[in-house]
């Protein structure tokens, strides 16, 4: 129980006696003594008092700006700042952090994705402003705003980005090269006006490199004559450098490119878009239905599972995935090979 006693001029003693715990402190005003008593009594009883004025007085826009100002100067931070700017331009920008609720975000999501007009089994409708993946990214950054701001300001605040707020995502692309397509694709590249394109396709299929990683690769990071030939990727999608081993076929493709180019970069393009545009010219939907450049990376990773005995962690090191669950979509490719390792299987040890 908390009590406040006047002990003299400008002396007010607050006393807390609860569950065998006694604490006292003297203040100059009664209001200060009472405020301290509420806080300490809350800690003792587990019903801690917290001044909610800071949460109520801080708008979402202010919290987003605070987070933007505290982010480091990295490519990932640049991406997050663009999403923070987005939230600062929404109807929620002037709302108090304490006011935003999951229901508000679900309403926003339904409007942005045009969910009410979506076809069966579709996440977004025909008038969707962005795709479901973009909505997820924006909500993830908003969730980080609440978590980081609350931690930095020692505030207990409900994060509105809870389960059920994020939209469901469509399955990832599973386009594989079909019978004869690789040969036809390489022939189409050979006949194109871009002599480097065929080698670029081979490298993508052999190394799992993303188009941006290949576009930014310089010759000084390509080690063709090393004991173990490799490429050192310093700039990747997740900002983590990695070393990619090179197969004989990849080495041959790099040597062809070395004879074709005189600059410091492996390919004569400035960005990954240059590769994608060149690819679309030789692989139109009429000849290669629904085939995109990024499908070559999916094909390459699938082949590592199908044609090698590399462990998942080793494939992650090559592909640049950060978590094992990101490879879950590929693990089924080895299911038909597991039988040989079962008792009595083809390769089981005989006793």
Catalytic residues: 210, 237, 294, 297, 321, 330
Which of 279, 303, 298 minimizes the C-alpha distance to 185?
279
Q: Six-digit token pair at 98?
A: 């304490």
Determine contact, residues 18/45, Cβ cutoff 8 Å.
yes
Q: How far is CA 274 from CA 196, 219, 252, 281, 347, in A?
A: 12, 18, 23, 11, 47
Tell me how far apart the alpha carbons of residues 162 and 217 are, in angstroms, rounded to a whole number.
40
Determine contact, residues 301/210, Cβ cutoff 8 Å.
no
**Phi/psi at 286 (5° precision):** -65, -35
Task: Give the number of other CB atoms < 10 A from CB of residue 153.
Answer: 14
Residue 262, CB-side half-sphere exposure with 13 Å CA sphere? 0
Determine contact, residues 250/203, Cβ cutoff 8 Å.
yes
Tell me how far apart the alpha carbons of residues 188 and 181 are, in angstroms, rounded to a whole number.
10
Tell me how far apart the alpha carbons of residues 48 and 33 are, in angstroms, rounded to a whole number.
16
Q: How far is CA 8 from CA 14, 28, 178, 299, in A?
A: 13, 10, 91, 82
């Amino acid at each position: 129980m908390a009590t406040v006693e006047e002990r003299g001029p400008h002396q007010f003693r607050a006393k807390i006696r609860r569950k065998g715990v006694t604490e006292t402190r003297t203040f100059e005003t009664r209001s200060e003594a009472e405020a301290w008593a509420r806080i300490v009594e809350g800690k003792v009883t587990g019903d801690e008092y917290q001044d909610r004025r800071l949460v109520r007085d801080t708008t979402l826009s202010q919290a987003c700006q605070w987070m933007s100002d505290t982010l480091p100067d990295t490519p990932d931070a640049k991406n997050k700042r663009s999403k923070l700017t987005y939230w600062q331009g929404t109807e929620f920008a002037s709302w108090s952090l304490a006011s935003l609720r999951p229901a508000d975000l679900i309403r926003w999501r339904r409007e942005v994705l045009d969910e009410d007009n979506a076809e069966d089994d579709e996440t977004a409708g025909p008038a969707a402003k962005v795709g479901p993946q973009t909505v997820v990214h924006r909500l993830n950054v908003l969730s980080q705003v609440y978590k980081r701001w609350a931690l930095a300001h020692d505030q207990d605040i409900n994060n509105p980005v809870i389960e059920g707020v994020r939209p469901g995502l469509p399955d990832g692309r599973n386009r594989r090269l079909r019978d004869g397509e690789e040969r036809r694709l390489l022939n189409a590249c050979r006949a194109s006006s871009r002599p480097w394109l065929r080698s670029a396709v081979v490298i993508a299929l052999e190394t799992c490199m993303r188009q941006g990683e290949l576009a930014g690769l310089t010759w000084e990071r390509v080690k063709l004559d090393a004991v173990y030939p490799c490429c050192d990727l310093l700039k990747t999608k997740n900002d983590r450098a990695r070393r990619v081993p090179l197969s004989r076929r990849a080495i041959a493709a790099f040597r062809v490119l070395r004879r074709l180019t005189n600059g410091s970069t492996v390919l004569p393009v400035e960005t990954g878009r240059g590769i994608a545009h060149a690819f679309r010219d030789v692989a139109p939907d009429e000849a290669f239905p629904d085939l995109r450049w990024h499908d070559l990376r999916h094909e390459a990773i699938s082949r590592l599972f199908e044609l090698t005995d590399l462990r998942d962690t080793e494939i992650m090191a090559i592909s640049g995935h950060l978590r094992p669950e990101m490879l879950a979509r590929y693990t089924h490719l080895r299911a038909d090979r597991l039988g040989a390792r079962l008792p009595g299987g083809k390769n089981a040890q005989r006793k």
